Amino acid sequence: MLIIVLSTFVSIAFIVMAIYWLMFRPVSAAAQRLNELNASRGAATVTSIEPKAMETIAERIAEPINRFVPPSAAEAKKLQKQLMQAGYRSPSAPAVYRVTQLFLMLGFPAALLFFWMFMARPMDEALLPALCAFGAGFILPRFVLNRLIASRQLRITWGLADALDLMVITMEAGLGLNAAMLKVCEELRTVHPDISKEFELANLEIRVGRERSEALRNLAERTGVEDLSSLIGMLIQADRFGTSIARAVRVYADSLRTKRRQRAEQAAQKAAFKLLLPLGALLFPTMFIVILGPALLNIADMLGNGVTY
């Protein structure tokens, strides 16, 4: 027990010292020189070229982890794609995810062992709960990431119909596809920020010289929404064969509006079925207790008094 306590204390001390050094490390010479130049010019704000503290800490911690347990190329690409679909496009997002997962995988069993020691229970009984806590730390980040992806995809799906209606109006007014996407970004920035950011990023890719078809395919890959992927395929085909993009977008917007109404009706139909479980689990037992309770009490009194018929 003494060895376990000492090793735990030393490990925690080293972790705290490492985090303190990563957060309060000395500024690089180039950044310090730029700060001095900005201060000498009387700048009101100092522009920092250093990355965020959380991202830097995650990258420094993930670097030895990646060297010790390097992820495969397919796994790294899949994780990067999932993080983009969840809305995290930073290059350090995979490092932050892996470090978070590692801390949870080690932190949950450590917290469980501390609780076990505090309760003065035998340590040999903590093996199975520690393994369960280790598995929970491994599964929890994936579960949260999948929930974030599903939530963002749902927001994009419900806001896509409004974006297409606005795109149809702007394109029929004489704007091109790029200008229509930019107009959608400006008008839906506060109402549907996810669609606005994705359209803006696709428009920026087209501006820097990337082909429109490739930028649109990247848009579909970043979101992972089926309706948006179908729209992108239709836009690419219409642009390739020279047909009217505004007419194609209008037809697709009408079909998408119908699909959106059908999904709302389907959700309303599912509501009645979803109410059966809480109704059966909460309401019916209460009704049985209220209705049959007095009769059961009378029967119990009669049997207790020895009344027979």
The two structure tokens encoding residue 210:
């990337």
Q: What is the CA radius of gyration of the chain?
A: 30
Q: What is the overall mean pLDDT for the chain?
A: 78
Q: How far is it, in rounded angstroms, from Cα 235 to Cα 215? A: 12
pLDDT band at 44 (very low <50, low <70, confident <90, very high): very low
pLDDT value at residue 50: 43
Find how far residue 245's CA is from the centre of its chain. 33
Please tell me the number of Cα atoms within 13 Å of 145 on its side-chain side: 21
Mean pLDDT across 52-78: 63
Closest-CA residue to 161 (of 264, 237, 290): 264
Are 99 and 62 within 8 A, CB to CB? yes
Q: Does residue 20 have a pLDDT over 80? A: no
Position 267 scores a pLDDT of 83
Q: Do 71 and 82 form a contact (C-beta atoms < 8 A)?
A: no
pLDDT confidence of residue 147: 92
Closest CA to 112 of 22, 104, 245: 104
The whole-number pLDDT of residue 157 equals 86
Decide: pTM greater than 0.85. Answer: no
Collapsing DSSP to helix, strand or coil, 90 comes out as: coil
CA–CA separation, 236 and 212 (whole Å): 8
pLDDT of residue 52: 54
- The larger pLDDT score, comparing residue 94 to residue 55, is at 94
Q: Which residue has the tokens 């806001």?
A: 159
Task: Name the pLDDT band for 43 (thresholds 50, 70, 90).
Answer: very low
Res 46 pLDDT > 50: no
Q: Which tens digit of pLDDT belongs to each residue from 267-298?
A: 888 888 888 888 777 887 888 888 888 888 88
Q: Is the pLDDT of residue 120 over 60?
A: yes
Longest dimension (CA), the chain: 105
* 299, amino acid identity: I
Tell me how far apart the alpha carbons of residues 165 and 187 are, in angstroms, rounded to a whole number: 12
Domains and CATH numbers, the chain: 152-272 (1.20.81)
- Tokens representing 253 are 């917007």
Residue 306's pLDDT band (boundaries 50, 70, 90)? low
Sorted by sequence, the CB contacts under 8 Å of residue 308 that are 6+ apart come out as none
Q: For residue 119, how many other CB atoms are within 10 A of its CB?
A: 8
Residue from 64, 48, 57 nearest 19 by CA: 57
Q: Which letter, b or e, does each residue of 256-289 get, where b requires 16 or more Cβ atoms within 10 Å of its Cβ?
A: beeebeeeeeeeeeeeeeeeeeeeeeeeeeeeee
Query: What pLDDT score was predicted for residue 109?
Result: 86
CB atoms within 10 A of CB 85: 21
Give the pLDDT band of residue 106 (cuts 50, 70, 90): confident
Q: What mean pLDDT comes out for the span 167-195?
A: 86
